[in-house]
Amino acid sequence: MPVLASHRKPRTKVRTTTPAVGFTTAALASVTLLSTQSATAAPAEPKPAIEDVQKKVDELYRQAGSATQQYNRAKSASTAQRTKVDTLLSDVAKRTEKINEARRELGAYAAEQYRTGGIAPTATFFLADDPQAYFDQSRLMSRSTERQQKAVDDFRTQQAAASKKRAEAVQSLEKLTETQTALRSSKQNVQTKLTEARSLLSKLTAEEKARLAELERKKEAEAKEKAEKLAARQAAEAKEREAAEKNAREEAAKESGGGSGSGSGSGTGTSPGTGTGTGTGAGGSYAAKAEKVLAFARAQIGKPYVWGAAGPSSYDCSGLTQAAWREAGVTLPRTTWDQVEVGTRVATSDLQPGDLVFFYDDISHVGIYKGDGMMIHAPKPGANVREESIYYMPIYGSVRPA
């Protein structure tokens, strides 16, 4: 029987596009994800301008200078406290020895009483050979009792004094621990600031370092120009004062010297107080001291700055000023913060050689004025003691120490 032909219409094959759509979607998702990551990623931090690096390094050195003064103060306090503790401990040892001596004396009295035993006064009277002997013995016993009582009183006094000193020593040791902790903290702070400054400088290229050096030279030149202007102004003022003093002397001579010329030759050179140099009073005395200060400071030029150092091979800024004025017989405190409180405040326009010039709002630096707007100072880590314009840094104020 023949196969009947199918009356169904043949099915048309339809090509599916699902895989293509899936691939496109995945690709779009990947592009979107990458775009999102690129958009949200932090942009690369731009390299700071060399001028900003210079300002940052200068600020770090200033902060290190301030931390150095904190270190110097803590070190001075620690040294003073250690001396106090040692003195107290020595005193406690001496008092303890006195207590032991008193204790031995009391022990001797106790042993003597134990050997002889105590006898009632009535029994002593009846056992005496005669009444006078009794009274003599009674007075002897009374003096013995007084010595024993004095020994007891001395023992108690020494014991109380030793206890008081021992308590003071304990408190001083606690204070010493506090100052030593502050000392370690200040030291760490200095090291942190200096490390950060060195790190910034180490990242500079050779070209950037050259640019930084050029900025430094420009800064020094500007400061030197200001110093020269101050020197010229001070010289002009000194000339004016000299002229005014000369005119005053001439006027005084006219008023007092007319008509007595025949006797003017006698007595010259014999009047006290008319010589030069030593008769200038306090000003001459200060000038002599300042000369010693500057002679010492000049001899230190070229020695390295080391924070916390006070000579003789290296210095920080206040260590140099302290050592220099010591040469003139003047004792200055260790830190800039304390040195600025010594002596008389003077204006920048009135500076004289030997005066101390302080810098920055936190008074973290100091130099010795040498005249003509210049100073000698220990600048900063990596630099040596040198002469420099006082306008190299912002001036806080100045003092005349003596």
**Catalytic (active-site) positions:** 317, 365, 377
Residue type, 350: D
Q: In what order do the strands lie in the sheet with 395-400?
A: 344-346, 395-400, 356-359, 365-371, 374-377, 386-389
The set of long-range contacts for 312-316, using a CB threshold of 8 Å and a minimum separation of 24, is 315/378, 315/385, 316/68, 316/72, 316/378
3-state SS assignment for residue 385: coil
Strands (DSSP E) contained in 68-213 are: none
Q: Which residues pair with 367 in a beta bridge?
A: 357
Within 13 Å of residue 60, how many CA atoms lie on the same side as its CB? 18
Q: Is 43 left (phi over 0), alpha (psi -120 to 50) or beta?
A: beta
Q: Tokens in use for 196?
A: 């950060």
Q: Tokens in use for 42?
A: 């932090």
From first CA to last CA, the distance across the chain in angstroms is: 142
